[in-house]
Amino acid sequence: MSQPKTDRDEGVDFTDIKPVLEGLSFPITRSELVEQYGARELGRTNVGSITIEELFGPMGEDTFESADDVREMVLSQMPRDSVGRQRYSDRGVSNDTLEGTGESENESF
């Protein structure tokens, strides 16, 4: 059994909102988007969800020309905690991290 395909980008889950974005008639203003879809939620990594209204409500008036424009604005306005742990890497320890700590870059397992 295959897992449903998700649409995640920078800690934001666009899976449920993607059909809405693809069905919009463009151009659309921010206030029109909030009025029509403000209650729709966007999932975020480890911190729950946020509605379109919560995200776009306090902004000035913008006009979006495409679904990609809306996506870019969502990502630019998303709170920092949406992407999970800041400065996290599973790639190992970098030299920058070790500077001044006296720790060796080589680890023994």
Domain limits, the chain: 8-81
Indicate the helix (H) or strand (E) that contains 56: helix 52-56
Query: For 29-83, what is each residue's pLDDT tens digit?
Result: 999 999 999 999 988 776 788 899 998 877 778 899 999 999 998 888 876 655 4
Please name the residue that has the structure tokens 């206030």.
31
Query: For 7-42, what is each residue's pLDDT tens digit?
Result: 777 778 888 888 888 899 999 999 999 999 999 998
